[in-house]
Amino acid sequence: MCLFVFCLLFPFSKLSSAWHNAAAQDKAFSTSAVLKASPDSIMPERLTFPDSVALAAPEAAGRSASSLVTYLKQHLSTDDQLARAIYTWVSRNIKYNVYITYTSRSEETDETKELQKILSERKGICQDYALLFKALMKEAGMDAYVIDGYNRRDGALLPDPHEWCAAKVSGKWYMFDPTWGAGFVENYQFIPSPNHRFCKLLPDTLLKTHMPFDPMFQFRERPLSYEEFDTGVVDEQRSVPVFYWADTLALYAQQDTLERLASVRQRMLSNGRSNDLVYYMLELTSNNIRIANYQKILNAYNTAMDLQGKATDAINEFVRYRNKAFEPLKPDAEIQAMVDVPEGLINRADSAINSIRTAPERYREPILKLRDQIMEVATTVYKHKLFLRQYFKLPAKQRKGMFKQTK
**CA gap 270, 284 in Å, rounded:** 17
Angle at 11 between CA 10 and CA 12, to 5 degrees: 115
Q: What is the pLDDT of residue 179?
A: 97
Whether 21 has a pLDDT exceeding 80, the answer reads no
Please state, rounded to an integer, the average pLDDT across all residues of the chain. Answer: 88
Closest-CA residue to 90 (of 171, 176, 153, 151):
176
Q: Which residues contact 159 (CB under 8 A, 6 or more apart)?
A: 29, 30
Q: What is the pLDDT of residues 282-309, one digit of tens each?
A: 999 999 999 999 999 999 999 999 999 9
Would you place residue 30 in the very low, low, confident or very high pLDDT band (cuts 50, 70, 90)? very low
Cβ 252 vs Cβ 212: under 8 Å? no
| Tens digit of each residue's pLDDT (9 = 90 or more) over 309-358 | 999 999 999 999 999 999 999 999 999 999 999 999 999 999 999 999 99
pLDDT in tens, 59-89: 999 999 999 999 999 999 999 999 999 999 9
Residue 48: count other Cβ atoms within 10 Å of its Cβ.
14
- Checking if the pLDDT of 27 tops 60, the result is no
Is residue 96 within 8 A of residue 183, CB to CB? The reply is: yes
Report pTM: 0.79
Q: Find all residues with CB under 8 Å of 130, minimum gap 6, and list them.
A: 146, 147, 163, 164, 165, 178, 179
State the Rg of the chain over Cα: 28
Please check the confidence at residue 123 and state whether its pLDDT lies above 70: yes
The dihedral through the CA atoms of 251, 252, 258, 262 has a sign that is positive
Q: What band does 45 get if pLDDT is binned at 50, 70 and 90? A: confident
30 vs 134, which has greater pLDDT?
134
